[in-house]
Amino acid sequence: MKKNLDLNIVPSFPRVDDYIAIIRGGLPVELCEEITKDIETRPWRKHKWGYYSTKVVGSEKTLEPQVQDITEELSIKLRPFIERALNLYQDKYAVHGEKCGSRWLSSLSSLRFNKYPVGSKMRKHYDHIHSLFDGKEKGIPIISIVGSLNEDYEGAEFMLRDKEVKLNTGDILLFPSVFLFYHSVEEPKKGTRYSFVCWAY
């Protein structure tokens, strides 16, 4: 008769949460302030969800945050900091030898800004994003990246695996884009939360 394996007794297995990384001060505060001023001069739209089974894209009736695509000018300013964060992440987690290499990321999706005023939230979800690869780009999102652009708000907690992740202005959060890392943003109680998101593959 086979025994059930108790993975808790194997100390060599890393914990899932070990793959969550925060680059503290990964972005200059001055750049974050410049970005939040800039993006408020341009229009926002309601966030939309993609549903895998039906291929339908749409928004919920209530509480959806606002989103905005990045301009080329801001992308040029932000990308070097994101690429540095991704290199640090790969340096930490790379496994060397045989068919494993020190780099497994080759591309970065375009960035999107998220705005969370009072009366909005990001519902709990996985980053199993298929729409990034409907055109000439082929792949799967491997690493999710969230950049914190301000902290002058109350509430709006970023929840990852049902635990709050405290992010200050300029912090960059990275974690695998798989079902184990479900996440959400709670509704603000006061003020507006600004962030950016993108995915590496």
pLDDT in tens, 148-178: 999 999 999 999 999 999 999 999 999 999 9
The predicted model gives 22-43 an average pLDDT of 98
Query: What six digits make up the tokens of 167?
Result: 């992010």
Contact 123, 181 (CB under 8 A): no
pLDDT of amino acid 1: 47
The number of beta carbons lying within 10 Å of the beta carbon of residue 160 is 17
For 113-129, the pLDDT digits (tens) are: 999 999 999 999 999 87
Residues found in the chain: 201
Domain ranges of the chain: 21-41+66-92+104-200
Backbone phi and psi for residue 92, each to the nearest 5 degrees, phi listed first:
-75, -40
Q: Which CATH superfamily is domain 21-41+66-92+104-200 in?
A: q2cbj1_9rhob like domain (2.60.120.620)
Q: How far apart are CA 46 and CA 68, in angstroms?
A: 9
Query: What six digits make up the tokens of 40?
Result: 């408020």
What sign for the dihedral angle of Cα 42, 31, 151, 49? positive
SS3 132: helix
